[in-house]
Amino acid sequence: MDEFAVKVFVRLRPSVLDPAGEATKSASIKLGAEGIKSLRIGKMIELKIEGNEENEVREKIDLLCDRLFTNTVIEDYEYSLKKL
Amino acid sequence: MDNFTVGVVVFPGSNCDRDVSWALEGCLGIKTKYLWHESSDLSDVEAIVLPGGFSYGDYLRCGAIARFSPLINALDDFVKSGKRVLGICNGFQILTESGFLPGALVANKNLNFICDDSELDIVSSKGGWFNNGDEKQTIKLPIAHGEGRYYCDSDTLKKLVDNELIALRYRNNPNGSSFDIAGITNEKGNVLGLMPHPERACDEAIGGTDGLHTLKSLITK
């Protein structure tokens, strides 16, 4: 059985206002950083998971992302997967 | 009717469970029973309240972990049988996360935790949760939340409006909710989720009694 390292990135959908991102953008500008056009805050979830095949692992990750890691009403996700 | 019992669900992190029980028993004389979130036996309660608080520390998203508790799994049949479920604040968040109600609740637009009284328009009489006998169309209930901004896409909003599922709207939208939405029901009307706290408005001594009708309407014949 192989082990896979997975990184899941969760983002608010573009249509959902991100007030924390707006506040951080405003602070970034106050810090003196110029040219910031947009700033949005998401989450990153790291996990290690065992599986025989990559497809089987991907199915599990899709289930976790769709049902637990994200609320698809407000969030999108993508993930990277690396065999260890 | 004397035996009518309302189940008040207790998650790790619930903090309005006792307020709800106090309001139901002390102000209205309605029997309550605390239901631990690991229980899936709902046979001896006739209605259920999901109270406010921070279930499971609000980890991941508000209500996201609570959704997987045995009790919430058992709630599906309870709701389908037509029995009444009231989700207040964190309870509303749990109802949206678990798909009993559409949409989602996200961080307040101004990022503040808002603790205030809110003036609310009663929009729909579906389920009879707010349809006061005195035809009062505006009520005042306290709010206390950091993640109470109701969000849904435009198709869902249209469905909510067309089917009269919007129960309450803020007069002075404090958190940036879509369409000023403070509370919604399911299509059948037996499930209500709202951010304001009716259990904190059940006695003149604490500022008002506009929440009494909502709690009283948990009782069905």
- CA angle (B115, B55, B142) in 5-degree steps: 20
Domain regions of chain B by residue span:
5-216
- pLDDT given for residue B125 in this prediction: 85
Q: Does B112 touch chain A (CB under 8 A)?
A: no
pLDDT of residue B133 exceeding 70, the answer is: no
A3 and A84 Cβ atoms separated by less than 8 Å: yes
The DSSP line for B124-188 is --GGGSS--TT---EEEEEEEESS-EEE--HHHHHHHHHTT-EEEEESS-SS--GGGEEEEE-SS
Give the residue on B whose Cα is nearest the Cα of A42: B60
pLDDT of residue B1 exceeding 60, the answer is: no
Segment B38-66 shows an average pLDDT of 94
Measured between alpha carbons, how far is residue B182 from residues A48, B84, B145, B221 in Å?
40, 19, 12, 27
The number of beta carbons lying within 10 Å of the beta carbon of residue B117 is 15
Mean pLDDT, consecutive 10-residue stretches, chain A (84 aa), reads 96 95 94 93 97 95 96 96 94
Structure tokens at A21: 């991102």
**Is residue A65 helix, strand or coil?**
helix
CA B127 from chain centre, in angstroms, equals 13
pLDDT of residue B21 exceeding 80, the answer is: yes
Segment B110-122 shows an average pLDDT of 95
Mean confidence (pLDDT) of chain B = 94
Facing A16 at nearest CB: one of B64, B111, B151: B151
Name the CATH architecture for the domain at A2-83: 2-Layer Sandwich (3.30)
Q: Which CATH superfamily is domain B5-216 in?
A: Class I glutamine amidotransferase (GATase) domain (3.40.50.880)
Percentage of chain B exceeding pLDDT 90: 91
What is the interface pTM, i.e. ipTM, of the complex? 0.84
The number of beta carbons lying within 10 Å of the beta carbon of residue B221 is 4
Measured between alpha carbons, how far is residue B62 from residues B28, B97, B158, B191 in Å?
30, 8, 25, 19
What residues in B contact A68, CB-CB < 8 Å?
A: 60, 64, 68
- pLDDT given for residue B23 in this prediction: 96
Which residue carries 């899936």 as its tokens?
B40
Q: Tell me the sheet residues that pair with B185.
A: B192
Facing B109 at nearest CB: one of A19, A69, A73: A19
- pLDDT given for residue B207 in this prediction: 85
Q: Decide the pairing of beta strands B114-122 and B166-170.
A: antiparallel
Each residue's pLDDT tens digit, B30-40 = 999 999 999 99
- B135 confidence band (pLDDT: 50, 70, 90): low
Amino acid identity at B40:
S
Give the residue on A whose Cα is nearest the Cα of B110: A19
